[in-house]
Structure 1
Amino acid sequence: MVSHSKSRILHILNYLWQNTDAEHYATTADILTYLDERGISCDRKTIPGDIQKLCDIGVDIEEERSRENRYSLSSHLFTLPELKLLIDAVESSKFITTKKSTELIEKLSQMSSTHQATELKSNLYISERVKPMNEQIYYLVDNINTAINHRKQISFRYFHYDQHRKEVPNNDGKRYRFSPYFLVWNEDHYYTVGYSEKHQKIGTFRVDRMKEVNILTADAVEKPTDFNLPEFTRQVFDMYDGSSETVTLLCKNDMMNYIVDRFGDAVETSPIDYEHFAAVAEVSVSQTFFAWVFQFDGDIQIKSPELVVDRYKAMLTNALGK
């Protein structure tokens, strides 16, 4: 058996990281067995000193002194609820492939003890129904992020799907030239926000529709000093491109959650009868707003102004092909 005094403390830390947490302890005998299996000679009197050295550099180790001392790494980098939240986000994301989801979840699980990792993955199900197939997305994101950090332009090809679900290149297959400012996550998709040379204005591109992203040597076009990202994304992603109107909605009582989710908890509401209430809100009259109302199958109705009601009726008529 070879002595490995220099690496012994790291082995002890690794063992505590993998096998202990606030509810699971390791005894001195457990640690000695682990070290022995790795050819590291040590006696039980050495362990408390090694543990103390770890504590001295800030490792949070809980010690229970008794005939057989017990130790645990009482705090990992993430708490169990935090890891569960991250894992659920990865699992449900339509942007991350099934293969990459599995890899990321495994890595996240390693941020906890093996006991907690088992608990984290016990009810896990990764659905392939809405997962993408393109593993290149992660490299695209990395290139865009690098360009943002170094304030460089990028070039890329962009595509859309035709009626046969085939990829069709945009811009006649020519490369776009773009100065990326931000990466934005919206509705389970990644977008890059920046200045488009082709469109001569700030715009967005969906990352999963981009191909062959190259970082250029040219410096990015400077972002306008008054550029407001939250306002820009609100306009672009919520499609607030219609005229602004004060609209009254007639809603069934169990629709209140949806009204608050859409317009905020300061929205003006008033009871109408035992089953309904009215909500008054400033909205951008657009197809997005009409589609939002339509999904509730009459439980939320547009009552005024008449001009908005007529536009909604016209949209429904067009949708029926009449």
Structure 2
Amino acid sequence: MTTNVMKKRFLYLMKLLYERTDENHPLNTNEIIAYLNSVGCSTERKTLKSDIDLLIDFGIDIVFVKSSPNKYYWGERTIPVSEMSMLIDAIMSSQVITAEQSEELTAKLMTFVSTYQAQKFRELLEEGEPLAGAYSVSGADGDAAPVTVELECDEDTREDVVKQFGKAAELRCSVPPRSGGQAGRFIARVETAEDPAFYAWVFRFGGKIRITAPEHAVTGYRELAVKALHASDMPE
């Protein structure tokens, strides 16, 4: 078998597992072999097992499900599905980007998940439903424990902060109104679950609300924002 044929088979295998499998849609050995044969990459069980082992050795999370026949699916992705739903929710509700930009960025983000997951996202968006509820964003032990988070907010977001966190939110003046009648800023201390849903809420204000403490909340938000920016820079 020539090197080019082997490379072609390996690339088709990666494409199949990445696009057409997830934890709810594994493919069994027979299905994978049938697909590879259909694209001109004849293979057998032993060869397939060797190729999958190579993917795993390369650092790709291919999950093995013991059954008869055995099944496989692409596991952890660059952006986990729970974070993906949060990012798309934030983008679609953002006040600082156009509807066209929202759709373009959402389409790019959906290339990070399987076709089944992307289709579920599209159906929810068409129905006007938030995506965050479609996939769990909490740990296995239940909802994330609430923590005290400090926010620096532009004055014109005060009503949004109170609506989101209620009258229990501690609000105090930070900076007086700027010259020319421009809004000043205030500090809000709120109790919230430090999870993707909270980060999505902050993200939608396009910098008018900033997390200032604790440091791990600042870092968590920054990491998710970087993922969104990297997705927007993906080549067409």
Question: Partner amino acid for 1:71?
Answer: Y
1:141-152 aligned at under 5 Å gives the runs none
1:252-291 aligned at under 5 Å gives the runs 257-258=166-167, 260=169, 262-263=171-172, 284=176, 288=183
Per the alignment, in what secondary structure is the counterpart of residue 104 of structure 1? helix
C-alpha distance in 2, partners of 1:100/1:10?
Answer: 31
The one-character-per-residue Cα deviations of 1:148-179 (angstroms, maximum 9, x if unpaired) are xxxxxxxxxxxxxxxxxxxxxxxxxxxxxxxx
Give the conservation status (yes or no) of the 8 Å contact 1:19–1:113. yes
The one-character-per-residue Cα deviations of 1:169-211 (angstroms, maximum 9, x if unpaired) are xxxxxxxxxxxxxxxxxxxxxxxxxxxxxxxxxxxxxxxxxxx
1:1-322 aligned at under 5 Å gives the runs 4-125=5-126, 238=155, 257-258=166-167, 260=169, 262-263=171-172, 284=176, 288=183
Ranges in structure 2 where 5+ consecutive residues have no aligned partner: 129-151, 157-162, 185-236
C-alpha distance in 1, partners of 2:104/2:164?
Answer: 40
Question: Partner amino acid for 1:77?
Answer: T
C-alpha distance in 2, partners of 1:26/1:255?
Answer: 43
Which structure: greater strand fraction?
1
Question: Partner amino acid for 2:77?
Answer: H
Give the conservation status (yes or no) of the 8 Å contact 1:18–1:112. yes
Instruction: State the structure with bigger RCO (CA 8 A, min sep 6), 1 or 2.
Output: 2
C-alpha distance in 1, partners of 2:100/2:176?
Answer: 40
Sequence identity (%): 31
Shift of residue 261, structure 1, vs aligned partner: 5.8
C-alpha distance in 2, partners of 1:85/1:55?
Answer: 28
Give the conservation status (yes or no) of the 8 Å contact 1:91–1:125. no
C-alpha distance in 1, partners of 2:41/2:165?
Answer: 65
Q: Which runs of 4+ in 1 moved over 6 A?
A: none
C-alpha distance 283-255 of structure 1, shift in aligned 2 (>3 A)? farther
> 1:231 — aligned with what?
none
Which structure: greater helix fraction?
2
C-alpha distance in 2, partners of 1:65/1:110?
Answer: 28
Question: Partner amino acid for 1:113?
Answer: S
Give the conservation status (yes or no) of the 8 Å contact 1:62–1:73. yes
- Aligned CA-pair RMSD: 3.3
Give the conservation status (yes or no) of the 8 Å contact 1:22–1:75. no
- How many residues align structurally? 150
Give the conservation status (yes or no) of the 8 Å contact 1:4–1:41. no
- TM-score, length-scaled by structure 1: 0.40
C-alpha distance in 2, partners of 1:6/1:92?
Answer: 42
The one-character-per-residue Cα deviations of 1:99-136 (angstroms, maximum 9, x if unpaired) are 23222211111101112112222211599xxxxxxxxx
Question: Partner amino acid for 1:15?
Answer: L
C-alpha distance in 2, partners of 1:83/1:57?
Answer: 24
C-alpha distance in 2, partners of 1:285/1:74?
Answer: 50
Ranges in structure 1 where 5+ consecutive residues have no aligned partner: 128-233, 240-253, 264-280, 290-322
The one-character-per-residue Cα deviations of 1:223-267 (angstroms, maximum 9, x if unpaired) are xxxxxxxxxxx79x559xxxxxxxxxxxxxx9982562633xxxx
C-alpha distance 62-262 of structure 1, shift in aligned 2 (>3 A)? same
C-alpha distance 70-97 of structure 1, shift in aligned 2 (>3 A)? same
Shift of residue 86, structure 1, vs aligned partner: 0.9
Q: Which has the larger radius of gyration?
A: 1
Shift of residue 96, structure 1, vs aligned partner: 2.5
Question: Partner amino acid for 1:114?
Answer: T
Give the conservation status (yes or no) of the 8 Å contact 1:64–1:71. yes
Per the alignment, in what secondary structure is the counterpart of residue 105 of structure 2? helix
